[in-house]
Amino acid sequence: MSNDFAQFQDAFFEEAAEHLAIVEEGLLALEQHPEDLDLLAKIFRSAHSIKGTAGMFGFNAVAQFTHKMETLLDLLRNGQKVVTPQIADLLLKSTDCLKTLIEAAKSNEPVDNEVVQRLTGELAAASESGGQAAPQAGVAAKAASAPAANQGHTYIISWTPPAWLFQRGLDPLQIFKELGALGTLSEVTVDTTKLPELAAMDPETCYLAWTMKLNTVKDRKVVEGVFEFVREDSILKIEEGHEAREENRLQPASPSPLASNPLPIASGLAPAEGEEPKPLGELLVESGAVSRETLDKALSQQKRVGEILVEQQAVTPQQVEQALLKQRQQESAAHAKKTDTASIRVDTAKIDKLINLVGELVITQSMLSDLGARFEMRQMPILLERMAQLERNTREIQERVMGIRMLPIGTAFSRFPRLVRDLSAKAGKKIQLVLSGEETELDKTVIESIGDPLTHLVRNSADHGLEPPEERLDNNKPELGTIRLNAFHEGGSICITVEDDGRGLNRDKILAKGIKQGLITENDKLSDDQIWALIFKPGFSTAEKVTDVSGRGVGMDVVKRNIEALGGTVSIKTALGKGTTFTLKLPLTLAIIDGMTVRVGQETYIVPLLSILESIQPKPEVIKTVVGKGELINVRGTYLPMMRMYEVFSLQPEYTDPTKAILLILETEGERVAVMVDEILGQQQVVIKSMEQNFRKVEGVAGATILGDGTVGFILDVRGLLEMARRGTPVAA
Amino acid sequence: MAAAVETITKDSSQQTGLTTDDSQFLTFSLGEELYGVDILRVQEIKGYTAVTKIPNTPPHIKGVLNLRGTIVPIVELRTKFGLPTIDYTMFTVIVVVVVQDKVMGLVVDAVSDVLNIDKKDIQAAPEFGAKVNVTFLNGIGKSGDKLISLLDIDRLLIDQEIKEALATAA
C-alpha cells in the first residue's frame, strides 16, 4: 500500500517541480515588472497548488513553508505591499529553500532547519513590517486556528462550485481546510438537491453546493482568495453575518442533509487527481444490475461516511485529512499499476496523429494481404506500389513514435534566467539573457543531459566572456552585456548556441598558455580552430584568476566530453572584442543514428555518420611508416595514424593492402584517424540496441543494431577503437 | 560439499517457486552426455541460425542473435565445456534461457526430453579435483538408466562468477 501511495507522490513531485519553475520564472519576471498583478496571481496560484498538494500528502514542512511564502505573496497581490528588490530576492531564496524541502521530502532526508527557520522568520518579518497589513498576514496560520479568531468577522459563505470541479482535479475539501485555517469554520451544510439518480450520475461531475459559516479575523479578500481556483465558474456569495442568527440555524440545519444524504460528501473526498472516486465508481458499475444486496451494502457504506460527517459538523482538518488519506490509499491501490516511475507528458495531438497513422498502416496491411491471397504476376506494379505505401507508413510511424520522446528544449532553458540573474549579481556585471528557439524539440534524454554542459557554457560567458560594465563602456559597448541562447534544427541535428557579446577569446593568450602547459610548441602552426580547441583540453584555463564561478577552460573538457558522449560536437566562433559563440550540435535522438555500413571480411559494421569526415582510397605513396610499424596516411598534407580494423577486431579481411581497401577518416574529440575497411556498403539510419542488456560492454562497440536481413550489426565506438589501436593488443575477455 | 549442494538445490527451488519435491528439467545432449536445466529458466528453443561474431570475445561466445528485436548473446556449450567442436546439424538448437534477468542462448547438439526428477534422485556432483570443473553443476540426476548433469546456469553463464569459481578451483 505504501508503495502505491509512493506512486502518487511521484506525481506530486513532478507537479511540484512544474509549479516551482512557474514560481521562479514568475518571480524573475516580477523583478522587471513589479506592478504586474497577473504575474503575481500566477505565482500565487502555483505556490498555492504546491501548498495544497503538499499538505494532502503529509509533507507538512513543505506546506507550512509555502504557506509563509503565500502570505507574503498575498500581501503583494492585494497591493498591501510593494515588490521591492529585497522582497523579490527573499522570495527567490525561499523558492530555493522550498526546492530543497521538496527534494528532502522526496529522498526522505533531513533538511538544514536553520535555513528554513531563518527564511521563515524573514518571510514573516517581511509580511509584518510596514503598515496595517501586518497583523492579518504575519500571524496567518497560528492566529487563524486560535480561538481568538472569534473576535473577527463572521461570514456566511454559500458556494456552488462549477460542475467541472472534479474533472480539473480540484477538491472542495481543500477549500474547507483552508477556510478552517483562516478561522473557525462551522455549520458546513451541503445542498444535495441537484444530485441525480445514482444510475444517471456522472462521478466526475460536481452536483453539490455548500453553505458554511466562517469566523475569522481576516477580511473578505483573504476569504475570497481561498476560492481562487474555482472562482471562475462558481456561484460564490460571501456575506457578513452576525452571531445570533447563525447560532439558531446551526443545530437544525446541518445534521439532516448530512445524515440523510451523505453520499455527495464522499465524492467530496475524492482525490485531487480527478480520477473517478472509487466508491461512487463502484456503485455506478454495480447499479448496472442493481441487486438488493449490493445496494444495501453500498448504502451501509454510505451511512458510515455520513456518520463521520455528522460528527464532523464543524469539519476539523485532521479528521478530514485522515478520511482523505484513507480514500487516497484505496484509490492508489486501484491505480497502482498505471503510473510509471519515469513518465513523460505527451501532447495529445501527437497521439492522435499516431493513431491515425496506425489506422492507415492497418489498411495498407489488409490491402497487402488481400493482394497476397490471390496474387498474379501481372499485379506486380500494384504490389510494388502498396509496398511503397507500407514503407511510407512505417517510416512516418517511426518518426512520430520518436516524436513522443521529443520535448521542447524550453524545459532545459528555463533554469538560465535565474542562473544569469545570480551570476550578474555575483560578478557585478549587467547581463541580459535572451532566449530563442525554446519550442525546438529534442529527445527527453538529450534534454536531460545537456543541462549541465549548457550551464557551464552560460556561466563561462557570464564570468569570462562578458567584461565588467566599466570596461564595456570604455570599449564603446553598451553597459548591459547580452548572452543569447538559441536552439534550432539543422539537417538531422539540433544546434544550440550560447553567444555572448563579450571580449572574445584571446588568440595570443591561449597560445601562450598552450605552450606553457606543453600542449603545443612554439613552432606549431595552428589554425584558429585548432587554437580554440585548446580550451577544451583538461585543466586549460586562460582566466588570470579563477573565480568561484568558473574559469574559461576550467571544466570545458567536461563540457566537450559530455556533448560527445551524446554523439554531438562543440565548435567555437569568436572575434576579439566582439564576443564568442559556442555551438553545440546534437543528434535529435539517442535511439536512432545515421550510420555508414561498412564491410570487413564477412562482417558488417556501422560507423556513426557524425564521426566520418571523408573516405579515401589511398595511393601507395601516401602511406608512410614510423619506427617500421606505425602507419601514417598523408591526407592533403596532414599525416594521420592508420588503423586496420581487421587487426583491432581480429577479423579475416578481404584486403590487407590499404591501396585496395577503403580508408575512412574519422574524427573524435578533435583527434583524427584513418580506419581501414574492405568496402563501404551504404548509408542508413539504424536503431540502437543495447549490448549490455543481455551481455556486457564490448570494447570498440557502442551498441548493436538489426540489419536489413535480420542479423545483428555492431555500431562502432570510434573513441574506444582508437584506444584499442593505441594499446595495440586487443583485450581478450 | 553435500550440504552445499543441498542448499543450492533448495535455493533454486525457492527461486522458481516450486514447493514439490520433484522439478522439471529440460534435457539436451552434448555428444553422448545428457545435461539438464531447470525448465522454468528456459524461455524458448529455436533452431540454429547464423550469429554475428563479437570481436575479441572468448571462443565459447559464438556471437549475438536478433531475437525479435533483442540482442541475445549465444554461448556454445561444447566449447564452454572444452568438448571437441562438431559441425552443426539439423538437430542443433539454441536453448534460450534467462539468467539473472539476462537472456542468453545455449547452442546444444539436440534437445532430448523434459524430465521430472525427484529430489531424492539428485545427488551431489562428484568431485574430480582440478581435473574436471564441476562448479556449475547443481548435481547429478538419475532417470531410469540415464545420468543427467544438472546445470546451475547462473554460475555457468555469469562471467564474474565463473572467474571466481575458477580462481578458487585452481
DSSP string, A75-111: HHHTTSS---HHHHHHHHHHHHHHHHHHHHHHHT---
Alpha carbon distance A596, A607 (integer Å)? 5
A583-616: b (≥16 Cβ within 10 Å) or e: bbbbbbbbebbbbbbbbbbebbbbbbbbbbeebb
Nearest to A461 by CA among A485, A486, A436, A491: A485
Residue A487's CB: how many other CB atoms inside 10 A?
25
For B68, which residue in chain A has the nearest alpha carbon? A710
Strand A153-160 and strand A209-216: pairing?
A: antiparallel
Cβ distance A622 to A527 under 8 Å? no
Length of chain A (residues)? 733
- What does each C-alpha distance from B162 to A402, B61, B169 come to in angstroms? 40, 14, 10
Q: Return the DSSP state at A528.
A: H
DSSP letters spanning B1-70: -HHHHHHHHHHHHHHHT--SSEEEEEEEEETTEEEEEEGGGEEEEEE----BPPTT--TTEEEEEEETTE
SS3 A634: strand
CA angle A408, A411, A413 (to 5 degrees): 105
Alpha carbon distance A66, A49 (integer Å)? 10
Cβ distance A665 to A672 under 8 Å? yes
DSSP letters spanning A642-658: EEEHHHHTT---S--ST
Q: Using one digit for the tens of pLDDT, what is the confidence trace for A251-265?
A: 444 444 444 444 444
- What does each C-alpha distance from A324 to A190, A332, A427, A552, A660 come to in angstroms? 18, 12, 50, 54, 77
Min distance A558 CA to chain B CA atoms (Å) = 30
- What does each C-alpha distance from A176 to A94, A160, A259, A326, A673 come to in angstroms? 27, 13, 19, 18, 70
- Who among A690, A710, A714 is closest to B66 (CB)? A710
Q: Which residues pair with A238 in a beta bridge?
A: A157
Strand B102-108 and strand B70-76: pairing?
A: parallel
A170 or A60, higher pLDDT: A60
- Who among A690, A700, A733 is closest to B71 (CB)? A690
The pLDDT score that the predictor gives to residue A292 is 58
- Cβ pair B69:A711 closer than 8 A: no
- Cβ pair B55:A711 closer than 8 A: no
The pLDDT score that the predictor gives to residue B160 is 53
Q: Which residues pair with B117 in a beta bridge?
A: B23
Alpha carbon distance B149, B156 (integer Å)? 13
The pLDDT score that the predictor gives to residue A394 is 87
- Who among B51, B57, B73 is closest to A694 (CB)? B73
Cell of A649: 577486431
Chain A residues touching B59 at Cβ < 8 A: none
B14/A contact by beta carbon, under 8 A: no
Q: Using one digit for the tens of pLDDT, what is the confidence trace for A491-543?
A: 667 889 999 998 888 888 888 888 887 777 777 777 787 888 888 877 675 55
Residue B95's CB: how many other CB atoms inside 10 A?
23
The pLDDT score that the predictor gives to residue A558 is 80
Min distance A710 CA to chain B CA atoms (Å) = 7
- Who among A691, A700, A731 is closest to B71 (CB)? A691
- Cβ pair A650:B55 closer than 8 A: yes
Least trusted range by pLDDT, from A169-173, A277-281, B87-91: A277-281
Alpha carbon distance B49, B65 (integer Å)? 8
Chain B residues touching A691 at Cβ < 8 A: 64, 71
B166/A contact by beta carbon, under 8 A: no
A84 or A138, higher pLDDT: A84
What strand order describes the sheet that includes A701-706? A679-687, A592-600, A603-608, A712-716, A701-706
Q: Using one digit for the tens of pLDDT, what is the confidence trace for A393-442?
A: 888 888 788 778 788 888 888 888 888 888 888 888 888 899 998 888 88
Min distance A712 CA to chain B CA atoms (Å) = 6
Alpha carbon distance B148, B170 (integer Å)? 25
- What does each C-alpha distance from A137 to A50, A115, B54 come to in angstroms? 19, 22, 70
Chain B residues touching A695 at Cβ < 8 A: 54, 64, 71, 73, 102, 104
Amino acid letter, A74 = D
Cβ distance B167 to B133 under 8 Å? no
The pLDDT score that the predictor gives to residue A311 is 59
Percent of chain A past pLDDT 70, that is, above it, reads 78
- What does each C-alpha distance from A621 to A409, A634, A655, A679 come to in angstroms? 50, 9, 18, 21
Chain A residues touching B64 at Cβ < 8 A: 691, 695, 704, 712
Strand A630-635 and strand A638-644: pairing?
A: antiparallel
Chain B residues touching A646 at Cβ < 8 A: none
- Who among B52, B58, B104 is closest to A712 (CB)? B52
Is residue A316 scored above 70 in pLDDT?
Answer: no
Cell of B140: 547429478
Min distance B9 CA to chain A CA atoms (Å) = 25
pTM of the model: 0.48
Cβ distance A223 to A212 under 8 Å? no
- Who among A700, A711, A714 is closest to B50 (CB)? A711
Chain A residues touching B56 at Cβ < 8 A: 649-650, 698-700, 730-733
Q: Helices marked H in A568-686 — which ranges?
A: 645-648
The pLDDT score that the predictor gives to residue B37 is 93
B162/A contact by beta carbon, under 8 A: no
- Cβ pair A650:B103 closer than 8 A: no
Min distance B70 CA to chain A CA atoms (Å) = 7
- Who among B52, B69, B104 is closest to A711 (CB)? B52
For B158, which residue in chain A has the nearest alpha carbon? A695
- Cβ pair A714:B54 closer than 8 A: yes
Cell of A415: 533554469
For B104, which residue in chain A has the nearest alpha carbon? A694
Cβ distance A434 to A485 under 8 Å? yes
The pLDDT score that the predictor gives to residue B64 is 93
- Who among A712, A730, A732 is closest to B64 (CB)? A712
Radius of gyration of chain B (CA): 16
Chain B residues touching A692 at Cβ < 8 A: none
Residue A321: pLDDT band (50, 70, 90) is: low
Residue A621: pLDDT band (50, 70, 90) is: confident
Cβ distance A550 to A463 under 8 Å? yes
The pLDDT score that the predictor gives to residue A301 is 55
A262 or A301, higher pLDDT: A301
Tell me which residues of chain A have a C-beta less than 8 Å from any C-beta of chain B.
603, 648-651, 689-691, 693-696, 698-701, 704, 706, 710-714, 730-733
Residue B48's CB: how many other CB atoms inside 10 A?
18
Alpha carbon distance A10, B85 (integer Å)? 54
Alpha carbon distance B64, B53 (integer Å)? 7
Cβ distance A660 to A616 under 8 Å? no
Cβ distance A335 to A275 under 8 Å? yes
Q: Using one digit for the tens of pLDDT, what is the confidence trace for A371-394?
A: 889 888 898 998 999 889 898 888
> In chain B, which residues have pLDDT < 70?
1-22, 130-131, 159-170
Min distance A696 CA to chain B CA atoms (Å) = 9
- Cβ pair A733:B57 closer than 8 A: yes
A570 or A193, higher pLDDT: A570
Alpha carbon distance A583, A454 (integer Å)? 10
Min distance A605 CA to chain B CA atoms (Å) = 10
Q: Which residues pair with B29 in a beta bridge?
A: B34, B110
A552 or A319, higher pLDDT: A319
Alpha carbon distance B6, B2 (integer Å)? 6
The pLDDT score that the predictor gives to residue A456 is 86
Question: Which of B61, B65, B66, B99 to substitute to test the interface with A, most A CBs within 10 Å?
Answer: B66
